[in-house]
Amino acid sequence: MTRPVLGLLVAPDPAPGVALLAGSLDRWCAPRASDPRHDTPAAWLATSPSAPGIDDAFDSGRPVAVWVAGPSDVSAVAAHAGRAALVTDDADAFATGTDDVLVVGGSIDVQRYLYVSPFVRARWRAARRLLPTMVAAIGDVDDDVVPTVLALASAVAVTGPRLLEALAWGAPCVTDADSAAAVGAADGREVVLAKDDRLRDAAIAVAADPMLAATLSRRGRRLVERRHDRGRTPLAIARRLGLVGSFGAGRLDEALDELWTPARAHIRDRVDDALASLVAL
């Protein structure tokens, strides 16, 4: 099957990350320099809001992704809000909690971490006859048991590089202001902020508040997926651009990827077996 064409609109001196993005999208499409006056690709990728032909690309009715370097670039395409997929590799250039910009080239492979909600954590603790409520300070835990703690704890006090890992697990997190700023997390939204000498006490308070713990867990994981995942963002962009097709036999692997199905999960073998005769037709 011929891959759909992704039309490239290139401004002078494009960011290096654009080429990396186009290469990662090659799985679903054929990136190619195009002219909106003559070409009709399936979607467009503009290297900046000032890329030649970008207005014609929007007028074409095809999905458009635009590389943005900062808030001023977002403002430049504000008239097309909701129609453009905004992409960057510099999360720090945007305000904390920005949901509109997809970040590529992140620092963590989120697929390695199973999201565990507070409800599931409670069930797992009960099944293992652990305490109903478990609060941990990650700095006091040996490295080899950190993943177990992050998957089971009711809430964790964590600072520094481990914060991203904790958020990826879905652990309700208490941290300091510097660590939160480093990952773009907001107080009361993805994390709870506390002074160094109050981190554990704040984590105990979070564990005692199921609604807050659930909110932090869900939003924290979403933050990591949106701003820091180096593996998932290209698929999200491909979907926004309509480059990933429907749930047919040729797309089920992508659908399972989107659902965070482990690479060696038995369900993948079962799907292959079920579709074997159809694929052969």
Residue partners of 123: CB distance under 8 A and separation at least 6:
none
Map residue 93 onto helix, strand or coil. helix
Q: What is the mean pLDDT of residues 54-71?
A: 92
pLDDT value of residue 261:
73
Burial label for 147, CB within 10 Å (0-12, 13-18, 19+), is middle
CA 53 to chain centre: 29
d(CA 235, CA 25): 8
Band (pLDDT 50/70/90 cuts) for residue 273 is low
d(CA 163, CA 69): 26
| Contact of 243 with 43, CB cutoff 8 Å | yes
Band (pLDDT 50/70/90 cuts) for residue 3 is confident
Q: What is the mean pLDDT of residues 121-126?
A: 97
Name the residue type at position 205. A
d(CA 107, CA 110): 9
pLDDT value of residue 95:
60
pLDDT tens for each residue of 190-237? 999 999 999 999 999 999 999 999 999 999 999 998 888 876 678 788
d(CA 66, CA 100): 12
Q: What is the mean pLDDT of residues 20-40?
A: 87
d(CA 218, CA 167): 9
Of 10-14, 68-72, 204-208, 249-253, where does mean pLDDT reach its minimum? 249-253
d(CA 60, CA 56): 6
pTM for this one?
Answer: 0.61
